[in-house]
């Protein structure tokens, strides 16, 4: 008679071991916030670098000025990459939580 009760208690305890929904939501939220901060900082650094190079006459220097401009814009490319990566991580967490919730209902 006690065996069915033990099985029920084990399955209810087992459900709590997989994940903490609030913690996963917090991680996904932080990934979203950090991605926007990285994109904003990359844009600020990149555009300030372009502005400084244009004030110093980067376009008149020839190939060196153009390469300097490209390297400054590379900051924006790297920031955009990390933005997309962190957004994908956050959305992936939400997606996997939805999939897990949907599968558990069945």
Burial class (CB in 10 A: 0-12, 13-18, 19+), 42: buried
- pLDDT at residue 59, rounded to an integer: 65
pLDDT level of residue 91 (50, 70, 90 thresholds): very high
CA angle 78, 53, 60 (to 5 degrees): 125
- Please report, for residues 79, 86, 97, the alpha-carbon distance to residue 91 in angstroms, rounded to integers and kept in the order given: 18, 9, 10
Sorted by where each begins, the domain ranges of the chain are 20-105
Among 76, 84, 82, 70, CA closest to 47: 76
- pLDDT at residue 85, rounded to an integer: 97
pLDDT level of residue 10 (50, 70, 90 thresholds): very low
pLDDT in tens, 28-81: 999 999 999 999 999 999 999 888 888 877 666 677 777 878 888 899 999 999
- pLDDT at residue 62, rounded to an integer: 76
């Amino acid at each position: 008679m006690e065996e069915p009760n033990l099985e029920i208690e084990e399955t209810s305890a087992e459900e709590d071991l997989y994940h903490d929904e609030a913690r996963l939501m917090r991680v996904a939220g932080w990934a979203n916030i950090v991605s926007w901060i990285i994109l904003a900082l990359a844009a600020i650094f990149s555009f300030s670098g372009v502005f400084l190079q244009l004030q110093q006459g980067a376009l008149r220097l020839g190939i060196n000025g153009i390469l300097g401009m490209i390297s400054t814009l590379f900051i924006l490319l790297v920031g955009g990459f990390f933005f997309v990566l962190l957004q994908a991580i956050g959305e992936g967490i939400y997606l996997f939580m939805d999939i897990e919730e949907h599968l558990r209902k069945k």
